[in-house]
Each structure stands twice: as structure tokens, then as C-alpha cells.
Amino acid sequence: SGTIFAYGQTGTGKTFTMEGVRAVPELRGIIPNSFAHIFGHIAKAEGDTRFLVRVSYLEIYNEEVRDLLGKDQTQRLE
């Protein structure tokens, strides 16, 4: 279990830090690097070990919460 939380003023690089630049491996953000690390370890697992990976990607802005992986990213979560 883990949480990555980015907090700060608008325009300070939170999205860049989290996502990075997809086309440039050296500029990948925390999220793609974390996925590579997790799935790299899963790929190396021996035997019939099974894994369950769940992911949430939420945005909190102006006291409103949005699910960025949901079908409707504009829908507020209660």
C-alpha cells in the first residue's frame, strides 16, 4: 500500500513531477517510474504468486474531488 501526494500552488510543477514527459525516459515522472518499479518486481516473481494492483488518481482542487481515471473526469465525488 502506498500514497503519492503532490501539494502546492498552481503552476509550480506538480503535474510535471507526477507525470513527467512520456517520450523522454529520463524525464518520466513519479507515477510512470513507480509503475515500472512495481511491475518489474511482479515480472520477476517466482512460482504461482498472484498479485492484485489497484490504482486511484484523484485531484483535489477548490475543495472538489475528481477521479482522473473515471469515465467522466468532470464529475465531482462526494
Q: β-pairing, 58-61 with 76-77?
A: unpaired
- State the Cα–Cα distance between residues 75 and 51, nearest whole angstrom: 30
Is residue 74 marked as binding?
A: no
15 known member of a binding site: yes
The C-alpha cell at 57 is 488518481
The answer to whether 75 is annotated as binding is no
Q: Is 17 annotated to bind ligand? A: no
The reply, when asked if residue 8 is annotated as ligand binding, is yes
Q: 20 among the known binding-site residues? A: no
Q: How far apart are the C-alpha atoms of 66 and 56, rounded to whole Å? A: 11
44 marked ligand binding residue: no
| 10 is known to lie in a ligand binding site | yes
Annotated binding site: 8-15
Annotated binding site for ATP: 8-15
